[in-house]
Structure 1
């Protein structure tokens, strides 16, 4: 077993799409998806852009204000996630700052409880 500290990953700042206070650190990659740790400083923004593939943003600490194709803003917190479909324009903001994990690519994300790993039951 290995233990990863998402805070200790090398992060790079991202300014694309008018983002502000946004950095990413990659920690997983496969042919169909990638996993990154993201942080947003207080008042930070991940600017509006299209999702490259299905994208899942899981809040680990802090709060996120997320919006999808229609611009409706929802606030999500620790233990909650936003899912955007391939090509869907979306944006994330955080007035207080946040740490999150993003999984993006060819992944099935069903309704809660719909996806069960039979190896664990």
Structure 2
């Protein structure tokens, strides 16, 4: 077993799409998806851009104000996630700061209450 510290990942700042106080640290990749740790500082922004694949943003600490194609803003917190479809324009903002994990690629993400992994039967 290995223990990963998301805080210790090498990070790179992202400024594209008018993003600010935004950095990412990649910690996993496969042929169909990649996983990154995301940090947004206070008043940080991941600027509006299209999702290159289905994208899942899982909040680990803090709160995020997220919006999809229609621009409607919703606030999500720890234990919640936003899902954007391939090509969907979206953005993420935070007032106080945020740590999250993003998984993007060829993902099957169910609706609330739907069991995706049927288990070993």
TM over 0.5: yes
Structure 1 residue 113 displacement after superposition: 3.5
Deviations, residues 49-78 of structure 1 (Å, cap 9, x unaligned): 000000000000000000000000000000
Gap runs ≥5 in structure 2: none
The equivalent of 1:92 in structure 2 is 92
- CA distance, structure 1, for counterparts of residue 78 and residue 117 of structure 2: 22
Higher mean alpha-carbon deviation, 81-90 vs 105-114, is at 105-114
- The count of corresponding residues between Structure 1 and Structure 2 is 120
TM-score w.r.t. structure 2 length? 0.96
Gap runs ≥5 in structure 1: none
| RMSD of equivalent CA atoms | 1.1
- CA distance, structure 2, for counterparts of residue 62 and residue 50 of structure 1: 24
The equivalent of 1:13 in structure 2 is 13
The equivalent of 2:117 in structure 1 is 116
Runs of 4+ in 1 over 3 A off after TM superposition: none
The equivalent of 1:29 in structure 2 is 29
TM-score w.r.t. structure 1 length? 0.96
Is 1:79 the counterpart of 2:71? The answer is: no
- CA distance, structure 1, for counterparts of residue 118 and residue 105 of structure 2: 19
